[in-house]
Amino acid sequence: MISVLLVDDDEELTEMLSEYLQREGFHATAVHTGEEGEVQALSGRYSIVVLDVMLPRLSGIEVLRRIRASSQVPVLLLTARGDNIDKITGLELGADDYVPKPSSPGELVARLRAIMRRVQPQDAPATDAIRTGLLALWPAKRQATWQGSELDLTSTEFSLLEELARHAGQVVSKQNLSINALGRPLTRYDRRIDVHISSIRQKLGPRSDAKAWIQSVRGLGYLLIAE
């Protein structure tokens, strides 16, 4: 059973979400402060964290920052509808996705399941690796190495890089990246992929010619250089 940590100061909302998640086959636990959310998220007891950005005292963004300092547990943000600053900041800090508030419990469950499918694929032997140049990825284990060293990626970053690696040297459209890596069509003005790709670029570092390993092809998509 997937164990979900809900971090939101709205106790009525978390009670309703907990009941809905239980009916959908999840195990849900709710806490109501950022401080407690940080402790519980780092406890290793949860498969995924649902984190409200608008928490009193210690904000959700700061909680996310602290979580990402030592853990890659998947994090789904609850953001104010239309607040693009919090959404982009959260993605840049390593959130896997976001859902605007208010949203339906059904949408939340769909996003949780999509993230968990990326984290826990079941269709590849653990020994099968994707290799291109200095990059190696093991999809079944969700592990990657770059230049022989472990590459620390969020679940969403791993899925995007896996899709690019499977088509190394070829342009992959943003729409195909969104469908194949994130499990949903790309919507207008959606910057999720761009922000995650920017984070991956930083982790890979520059090439010897100072260019990025992941190239943006204007109007088409992204290309992982195969060397």
- Beta strand extents in 90-182 (DSSP E only): 97-101, 130-132, 135-138, 143-146, 149-150, 171-173
Looking at the structure, tell me whether residues 76 and 152 fall in a common domain: no
pTM: 0.77
pLDDT at 127: 57
Domain CATH for 174: 1.10.10.10
**Taking the mean position of all CA atoms in its chain, how far away is CA 135?**
20
Domain CATH for 18: 3.40.50.2300
What band does 41 get if pLDDT is binned at 50, 70 and 90? Answer: very high
Give mean pLDDT, residues 107-115. Answer: 91
CA distances from 186 to 26, 122, 175, 181 (A): 27, 25, 5, 11
| Residue 125 counted as domain residue | no
Helix (H, G, I), strand (E, B) or coil at 80: strand
| Residue 144 counted as domain residue | yes
Phi-psi region of 135 (alpha: psi -120 to 50; beta: other; left: phi over 0): beta
| Residue 62 counted as domain residue | yes
How does pLDDT run across 120-155, given as a tens digit for each residue?
755 545 558 899 999 999 988 889 999 999 999 988
Q: Which of 87, 119, 151 is the last residue of a domain?
A: 119
Q: Which of 86, 119, 152 is the last residue of a domain?
A: 119
Tell me: pLDDT of 110 over 60. yes
Looking at the structure, tell me whether residues 108 and 146 fall in a common domain: no
Looking at the structure, tell me whether residues 181 and 98 fall in a common domain: no
Looking at the structure, tell me whether residues 27 and 49 fall in a common domain: yes
How does pLDDT run across 210-219, given as a tens digit for each residue?
999 999 998 8
Looking at the structure, tell me whether residues 15 and 54 fall in a common domain: yes
Looking at the structure, tell me whether residues 96 and 166 fall in a common domain: no
pLDDT at 83: 73
Return the amino acid letter for 25: G
Looking at the structure, tell me whether residues 80 and 115 fall in a common domain: yes
How does pLDDT run across 42-59, given as a tens digit for each residue?
999 999 999 999 999 999
Looking at the structure, tell me whether residues 109 and 141 fall in a common domain: no
| Residue 185 counted as domain residue | yes
Tell me: pLDDT of 35 over 60. yes
How does pLDDT run across 4-32, given as a tens digit for each residue?
999 999 999 999 999 999 999 999 999 99
Looking at the structure, tell me whether residues 101 and 190 fall in a common domain: no
pLDDT at 121: 58
Domain total of the chain:
2
Distance CA 28, CA 22 (A): 7
CA-CA-CA-CA torsion for 115, 168, 135, 225, nearest 10 degrees?
Answer: -120
Which residues touch 104 (CB under 8 Å, ≥6 apart)? Answer: none
Domain that holds residue 50: 3-119
What band does 189 get if pLDDT is binned at 50, 70 and 90? Answer: confident
Q: Which of 119, 138, 173 is the last residue of a domain?
A: 119
Looking at the structure, tell me whether residues 68 and 36 fall in a common domain: yes
Looking at the structure, tell me whether residues 19 and 111 fall in a common domain: yes
| Residue 207 counted as domain residue | yes
DSSP letter (8 states) at residue 40: H
Distance CA 67, CA 52 (A): 14
| Residue 124 counted as domain residue | no
